[in-house]
Amino acid sequence: MTVVATVGTTHPLAFAGLTFAMLALADDAARPVAVVAGITAQDASRVLTRIPIDAATIRAQFDALRDANVEAIHIGALLSAESVHAVAESLAAFSNVPVVLDPVLATTTGDTLADEPARTALRDVLIPRATLVTPNLDEATALLDRPVRDVAAMHEAATAFRDLGARAALIKGGHLPGTPTDVLADEHGIREMPANRVDKDLRGTGDLLAVTIATCLARGARLSEAVEHARRRVHEAIACGVPFAGTRVANFTAG
């Protein structure tokens, strides 16, 4: 049994976030365990409310995982600096477990999830604990306070995230004009990873990518192999998505 912990914020319709990550883990034959660090009420178009969970409750949830034999940790949206610090402190008990951090700052519709103090905490205390950090262009721009809008800037951003302490960084370029290209930087260097564009929208692609990488690492894959497998899974999910509750989502019930 592959056990992966997912840490983040709930979404009542499971388009993305913690609830989506648990679906994705189960679909990948992994056993999900979870730490709820935030709660949202949102639909296909807007966030109705967002509530961070207090630090003591976050730490208690991590304590409850001590006998679960967690083999990897996926971290998604965190809503406050207090939550970020609580998660970072709790990771000390999982020092040998790979951590994939997807630094979600806003929803697909543009509503803010992480405020500026939370972003500062991500830079200062959580990115340095990450095995891999997976920002998109907007997230890299916000976290590094510099424009990241082309492949050359993505190279610089990937190196900058490693300078912040992350062991590796994957800058996601799905919103680039022309060929969508990701950039991966790790101890072996920097590589560009182009892909064919699927001309369809899908919610939750960033969560799917990060949680799939975490599962692969839990199963002993090398980082580059995990990234390649996750990118293929996302590509297939975009192509095979289905309509649900006013948007388009991964079809985890197929087959």
Asked if pLDDT for residue 35 goes beyond 90, the answer is: yes
Mean pLDDT for the stretch of residues 41-66? 96
Question: Does the reported pTM lie above 0.75?
Answer: yes
* Whether residue 255 has pLDDT greater than 50: no
Farthest-apart Cα atoms in the chain, separation:
47
Q: How far apart are CA 254 and CA 233, in angstroms?
A: 14
Residue 253: band (very low, low, confident or very high) from pLDDT cuts 50, 70, 90 = low
How confident is the model over 215-227, as pLDDT tens digits? 999 999 999 999 9
Confidence of residue 25 (pLDDT cuts 50, 70, 90): very high
CATH 3.40.50.720 assigned to 3-249: no
Instruction: Read off the pLDDT of residues 148-185 as tens digits, 9 standing for 90 and up.
Output: 999 999 999 999 999 999 999 999 999 899 899 999 99
